[in-house]
């Protein structure tokens, strides 16, 4: 039996804030005070549901088995103008890079990208006012108070999009995991077969003078991934936040330029904004070419001209330092910094489209699709003769 992965980047949870406490209608009673008047206190506020970014989390696994999040209700008001206790807020710790959608409509709600960032997902109900708030010269003993505001409830979808500087893009078995293993301390699974990587992984690449950057390895993309083929669109969202994309094509590919264009087209189909990010093309497995410089020069003539190209071999440790220098230069270029600033200020998250779910609904499920409308002209009614025929009908069991 295959071991279940601990990398959870998609979870649906139900959230409910606390309702406000009701105000009190108490009348003050004390010795030698026959007409104490109203002294009912206010109700307490219900607890909020708050999302909080936490850099110590890197997956949504902790929410997979805790899918019902409830905040405390506010306390009721009491005598002597005592206000009810406020309901405790419920904090949901999420990794940085979490996007929240309405599970019913697919509408984008919020985005948590920084450590310590707090977003109120659902507000708790306000507490009702006690009767002392309604005392007037003409109504000195009001015997009514406000009820607390009701609670709010919502089912939400949490999606994690990894935060990294460089995202690796390539077909299966292009050497992405091998490169992450060679350049960082991360140890992703490596194998000589397609789709070895079934979940994204992050690696911190050390650079000169104590500097470093983060690379993200996602499962391989195949032609038609934007239409759901292979692992489909599930992991493509993890490169939406990367400032630089590293395309990886093996040196033994028949047509390197065509394979690069296929990858580019899949990204454009998934999200056209990905084409605005900086790009670098790495020709992997160059140890297969040996020391033949003429062959490399011939390959360079067939490569695209609009992207920097570097020849590397992660197994033979060839060209890795040159790749680091190129990635660092591209990440810190003025054009990339301006693009990153513009992207940060104008990040647009698409709403979820749940229309396709109706195609997979069972006929017996309620709430899926439209109910069949029966025309009254198609209904055949029985008369008395038909009923007599039914009474005379006998059912014979087959042996």
Cα–Cα distance, 36 to 29 (Å, whole number)? 6
Query: What was the pLDDT predicted at 378?
Result: 42
Cα–Cα distance, 95 to 115 (Å, whole number)? 8
With cut-offs at 50, 70 and 90, classify the pLDDT of residue 356.
very low
Q: Which residue, among 261, 256, 274, has the nearest Cα to 311 in the 3D structure?
A: 256
Q: Would you mind telling me the total number of residues written for the chain in this entry?
A: 399
Query: What was the pLDDT predicted at 205?
Result: 87
Query: What was the pLDDT predicted at 238?
Result: 74
Q: Which residues contact 242 (CB under 8 A, 6 or more apart)?
A: 164, 165, 166, 167, 216, 277
**Right CATH for 1-160 from 3.90.226.10, 2.70.210.12, 2.40.340.10, 3.30.70.1170:** 2.70.210.12
With cut-offs at 50, 70 and 90, classify the pLDDT of residue 24.
very high
Q: How many CB atoms lie within 10 A of CB 115?
A: 12
Query: H or E element: which one contains 331?
Result: helix 320-331
Answer yes or no: is pLDDT of 4 > 90. no
Beta-bridge partners for 325: none
Average pLDDT over residues 275-304: 79
Domains 1-160 and 166-345 share a fold: no
Query: What was the pLDDT predicted at 174?
Result: 80
Answer yes or no: is pLDDT of 139 > 50. yes
Query: What was the pLDDT predicted at 234?
Result: 65
The three-state secondary structure class of 154 is strand
Percent of the chain's residues with pLDDT above 90? 22
Answer yes or no: is pLDDT of 55 > 70. yes
Cα–Cα distance, 207 to 332 (Å, whole number)? 13
**First vs last Cα of the chain: how many Å apart?**
45
Say which residue, 28 or 273, is predicted with more confidence. 28
With cut-offs at 50, 70 and 90, classify the pLDDT of residue 186.
confident
Average pLDDT over residues 54-77: 90
Answer yes or no: is pLDDT of 247 > 60. yes
Question: Helix axis angle, 176-183 relative to 320-331, nearest 10°?
Answer: 90
Answer yes or no: is pLDDT of 133 > 80. yes
Cα–Cα distance, 240 to 289 (Å, whole number)? 33
Answer yes or no: is pLDDT of 42 > 60. yes
Q: Which residue, among 76, 72, 68, 75, has the nearest Cα to 89 in the 3D structure?
A: 72
pLDDT digits (tens, 9 = 90+) for 229-245: 666 566 777 777 788 88
Average pLDDT over residues 296-320: 82
Q: Is 335 exposed, middle or buried (0-12, 13-18, 19+ CB in 10 A)?
A: exposed
Give domain limits for the chain: 1-160, 166-345
Query: What was the pLDDT predicted at 341?
Result: 45
With cut-offs at 50, 70 and 90, classify the pLDDT of residue 370.
very low
Query: What was the pLDDT predicted at 48?
Result: 95
For residue 393, give both structure tokens. Answer: 């009908």
- In the CATH scheme, what is the code of domain 166-345? 3.40.50.300
Q: Which residue, among 27, 92, 21, 23, has the nearest Cα to 60 in the 3D structure?
A: 92
Average pLDDT over residues 168-180: 83
Q: What pTM value is reported for the model?
A: 0.67
Q: What is the gyration radius of the CA atoms in the chain, in angstroms?
A: 32
Q: Which residues contact 12 (CB under 8 A, 6 or more apart)?
A: 67, 103, 155, 156, 157, 158
Q: Is 183 exposed, middle or buried (0-12, 13-18, 19+ CB in 10 A)?
A: buried
């Amino acid at each position: 039996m295959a071991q279940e992965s601990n990398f959870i980047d998609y979870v649906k949870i139900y959230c409910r804030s606390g309702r406000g406490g009701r105000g009190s209608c108490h009348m003050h009673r004390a010795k030698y005070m026959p007409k104490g008047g109203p002294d009912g206190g206010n109700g307490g506020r219900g607890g909020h549901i708050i999302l909080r970014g936490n850099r110590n989390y890197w997956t949504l696994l902790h929410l997979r088995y805790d899918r019902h999040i409830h905040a405390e209700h506010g306390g009721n008001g009491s005598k002597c103008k005592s206000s009810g206790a406020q309901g405790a807020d419920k904090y949901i710790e999420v990794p940085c890079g979490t996007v929240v959608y309405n599970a019913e409509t697919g509408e984008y709600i919020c985005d948590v990208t920084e450590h310590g960032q707090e977003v109120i997902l659902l507000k708790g109900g306000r507490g009702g006012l006690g009767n002392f708030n309604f005392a007037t010269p003409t109504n000195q003993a009001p015997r009514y108070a406000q009820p607390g505001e009701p609670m709010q409830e919502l089912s939400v979808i949490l999606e994690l999009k990894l935060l990294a500087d460089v995202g690796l893009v390539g077909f299966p078995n292009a050497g992405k995991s091998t490169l992450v293993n060679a350049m960082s301390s991360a140890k992703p699974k490596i194998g000589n077969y397609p789709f070895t990587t079934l979940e994204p992984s992050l690696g911190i690449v050390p650079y000169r003078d104590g500097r470093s950057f983060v690379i993200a390895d996602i499962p391989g993309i195949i032609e038609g991934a934007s239409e759901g083929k292979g692992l489909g669109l599930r992991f493509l969202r993890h490169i939406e936040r990367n400032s630089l994309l590293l395309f990886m094509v093996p040196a033994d590919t028949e047509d390197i330029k065509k394979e690069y264009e296929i990858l580019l087209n899949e990204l454009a189909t998934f999200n056209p904004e990905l084409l605005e990010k900086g790009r670098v093309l790495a020709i992997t497995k160059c140890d297969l070419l040996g020391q033949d410089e003429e062959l490399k020069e011939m390959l360079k003539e067939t490569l695209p001209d609009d992207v920097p190209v570097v020849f590397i071999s992660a197994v033979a440790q060839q060209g890795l330092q040159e790749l680091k220098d190129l990635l660092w230069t591209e990440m810190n270029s003025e054009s990339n910094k301006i693009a990153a600033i513009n992207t940060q200020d104008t990040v647009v998250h698409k709403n979820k489209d749940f229309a396709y779910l109706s195609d997979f609904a069972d006929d017996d499920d309620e709430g899926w699709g439209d109910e069949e409308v029966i025309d009254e002209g198609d209904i055949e009614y029985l008369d008395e003769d038909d009923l007599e025929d039914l009474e005379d009908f006998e059912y014979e069991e087959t042996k």
